[in-house]
A and B are shown apart, each in its own frame.
Chain A
Amino acid sequence: GNSVTQMEGPVTLSEEAFLTINCTYTATGYPSLFWYVQYPGEGLQLLLKATKADDKGSNKGFEATYRKETTSFHLEKGSVQVSDSAVYFCALRYAQGAQKLVFGQGTRLTINP
């Protein structure tokens, strides 16, 4: 079946550190891949996406590359800020008649000043 596995949190970093949150997936066919961010008490916001192999999604200094050979979509940022503290979700969408998203369990990120 389709599934997403994220690195377990929580992750705690100092401001300006380099961030990587690992995400791997299992899917039939060629899914689209997404990273969503959830700030405390809020819904999810789309952070970035990639719809085919070797695509790189980027937004707000975050990047992720769709790697079909390793079935991965790792999230990276070169220099994190305190305002990046949130829960990050990796997700895939398989387009077989409906847009059904499958989410990873989420990774809580805390950035200390």
Chain B
Amino acid sequence: DGGITQSPKYLFRKEGQNVTLSCEQNLNHDAMYWYRQDPGQGLRLIYYSQIVNDFQKGDIAEGYSVSREKKESFPLTVTSAQKNPTAFYLCASSRGQADNQPQHFGDGTRLSIL
């Protein structure tokens, strides 16, 4: 079945360490997104990519980096510059920019600091 796969489900980071969260989709979607979810809050957009080899900052991009070398993959790196990385990270994708195309979400990665 088509869908979005995020891995790992749980991830632990030591202070000063970079970690990379994986997101893969087999839906043939052009656009992909990364969101951060904190307890009791809505989702906030970190980065998004409308097409391969292109991406833009969202509302809270500081301390994060992404790449989009393949259509199906959009990994997120949480760098040591992100001072409060503990959160639930959600990846999403959508077919394109048409207004009636919804975003589909993966099951998320929960990142914690050791």
How large, as a class, is the contact surface on chain A? 20 to 34
Q: Which residues of B, 79-114, contact A by the 8 Å Cβ criterion?
A: 90, 92, 94, 97, 99-108
Judge whether A99 and B94 touch: CB under 8 Å: yes
A51 with B58: in contact, given A43-B105, A103-B43 (CB under 8 Å)? no
A89 with B108: in contact, given A98-B97, A99-B31 (CB under 8 Å)? no
For chains A and B in complex, what number of residue pairs have CB atoms within 8 angstroms? Answer: 63
| CB of B96, distance to nearest CB on chain A (Å) | 8
In the assembled complex, the Cα of A56 lies from the Cα of B22 at a distance in Å of 36
B-binding residues in A (CB < 8 A): 4, 32, 34, 36, 41-46, 49, 51, 89, 91, 93, 95, 97-101, 103-106
Of the residues B42, B56, B102, contact of A98 by C-beta under 8 Å: B56
